[in-house]
Amino acid sequence: MRCPFCGHEDTQVKDSRSSEDGAAIRRRRSCPSCDSRFTTFERVQLRDLTVVKRNGQKRPFDRDKLARSLEVSVRKRPVEVSQVEAVTNEIVRKLETTADGEVTTEQIGEYVMNALADLDKVAYIRFASVYKDFREPSDFEEFVDKIKK
């Protein structure tokens, strides 16, 4: 692994640990050239995913973008970072195992909605307001009425 500080080609692994409930390996590394230390994570990737947007454009799937959207939804809510990471891992696993390499933004949105409905109702409504493109306060009222039933 190349050192992110000096670019030296050969870094040394000082410590390896399982993280994210065994879904990743966390490695502490050091560079013999500049003595810097840094952390890397290794995750299993079953297949490369391509996201098909509503307008037909295709983009590579970005796990970090999914995690960021979840983090925005749960911001200032009683939800732990580890819970967001677990939900992200669960959604990525579902996408990798059920998709044929292409997933739609609708599939991703539905997986996120289902996960947030179980995790935190306020985060669920926040995400839905963007995903379902709420424009009026009445859109919120209708949605909240649906989830109350």
In a domain, 143, yes or no: yes
Is the domain of 28 the same as that of 58? no
What is the predicted pLDDT for the residue at 98?
78
- For the full predicted model, state whether its pTM sits above 0.85: no
Give all strands of the β-sheet with 102-104 in edge-to-edge order. Answer: 58-60, 50-52, 102-104
Q: Do 61 and 121 reside in the same domain of the chain? A: yes
Residue pLDDT, tens place only, 18-40:
876 677 889 999 999 999 999 99
Q: What is the pLDDT of residue 45?
A: 65
**Domain of 120, in residue numbers:** 50-148
Q: Mean pLDDT over all residues of the chain? A: 90
Same-domain status, 39 and 69: no
| Residue 43: predicted pLDDT | 76
Assess whether 89 and 143 both reside in one domain. yes
Residue 7 in domain: no
- Residue 99, pLDDT > 90, answer no
Both 29 and 84 in a single domain?
no
Q: State residue 46's pLDDT score.
A: 63
**How many separate domains does the chain show?**
2
Is residue 31 one of the residues assigned to a domain?
Answer: yes
- Give the rounded percent of residues in the chain with a pLDDT score beyond 70: 96
